Amino acid sequence: MTTQQGTIAFITTPVYRQERRRKAERFILTHMYSLCRHFDVVCTGRTKDFIHEIIAAEPDPADTSRICDDLNCDKLTPELLEQWRTTIKENTEHNAEAHSVPGMICVTHRLVEGYVDAVIHLADWQDKSAKADSAVLSRQANVHDVPIALDLATADAYAKTWKGAIARGVTKLFPSRNHPMPSPVGNLDLAAEEDEVLAMIAHDQMKLDLCCFAVRYADLIFKKYKYILATGTTGGWLQDFMAACGRDAEAIGRIRRCNSGPYGGDVQIAYAVVKDLCNDVVFFQDPMVAHAHDSDIRLFEQAVVHRDISVRLATNVESAKLLIG
């Protein structure tokens, strides 16, 4: 389902759905139809299931009034109710990502790469403090200057503003955002069922160690892997080191640079992991230093150890040597 106004990410966290269910219901009943008419609404699998559960229920009189306002009608007929349900269900079904952490990584990846124009993230404070995925989505929205609502009052204000602008005939609600051309992880030319991609990541104090490791074992790495994914700064170092050691342009071009870590590079590589594009990761960590984008790093680590994801991870030189064989 294609719309013209942009893409809205709509996320509800587990504690919010449990503790503030009625508030989330009211927002869905009041605004979701209009959002789905004019935007692509992307959400995680569990948020999608929650939305579908709400719209499938028979509305009470108070809810009927909310639905009528969103439909801009005087009376909610069975035909209009079906139209309301179908519009919401088809849009959210079409744009839904996976459940849990993989789904949040995919939504955040869309944002990092410029394909989300605004975020409504109804999150309880317990979720924000305990869940790296919630913290990363909020942080990346702020990094990329994407409007984000973290509470119901702000989300309601955003939805009313968008509705009013559309009613006035405004056709461009959001400023244009740059997309990576080509995407470092979106156009990997891979053969089926082959482990061809190695991710190489390092904290600042470990970048030199990683580059020295890569140079020493470059023959093995380039023989075994078709592509090397790296965050922006690390990837630049790797390319420079390989050039200094006489590697040709073809080999250097196989090192794909994502964004820097603070600007979503960890999210882009985590996306490659959850999409089964990358199964081997070398991540040299500095356990003695705190990092400004620690939530991104924790989210990446969650992706690596998720029960539904198969990936091999090496976090120091000796384990990396075993990984590349």
* pLDDT (tens digit per residue) in 103-154: 999 999 999 999 999 999 998 777 666 678 888 999 999 999 999 999 999 9
d(CA 9, CA 117): 8
- In this structure, the number of other CB atoms found within 10 A of the CB of residue 44 comes to 26
pLDDT band at 171 (very low <50, low <70, confident <90, very high): confident
Full set of structural domains in the chain with CATH: 7-167 (3.40.50.1380), 197-324 (3.40.50.1380)
- In this structure, the number of other CB atoms found within 10 A of the CB of residue 26 comes to 17
* pLDDT (tens digit per residue) in 254-265: 999 999 988 999
CA–CA distance from 269 to each of 50, 109, 217, 287, 313 (Å)? 29, 9, 22, 21, 13
Q: What is the mean pLDDT of the chain?
A: 90
Average pLDDT estimate for 194-211:
90
Give the per-residue pLDDT at 129: 63
DSSP character string of 115-152: ---EEEEE--HHHHHH-HHHHHHHHHHHHTT--EE-SH
266 is catalytic: yes
3-class SS shares of the chain: helix, strand, coil, % to 5: 55, 10, 30
pLDDT band at 1 (very low <50, low <70, confident <90, very high): very low
Give the per-residue pLDDT at 248: 94
* pLDDT (tens digit per residue) in 225-266: 999 999 999 999 999 999 999 999 999 999 999 999 889 998
230 DSSP β-pair partners? 200, 257
Catalytic residue among 266, 294, 296, 308: 266
d(CA 162, CA 164): 5
Q: CA 270 from chain center: how many Å?
A: 9
Average pLDDT estimate for 252-281:
92
Give the per-residue pLDDT at 146: 97
pTM (predicted TM-score): 0.91
Residues 6+ apart with CB under 8 A from 101: 133, 274, 299, 302, 303, 306
* pLDDT (tens digit per residue) in 23-79: 999 999 999 999 999 999 999 999 999 999 999 999 998 899 999 999 999 999 999
Please check whether residue 228 is in contact with residue 184, taking contact to mean a CB–CB distance below 8 angstroms. Answer: no
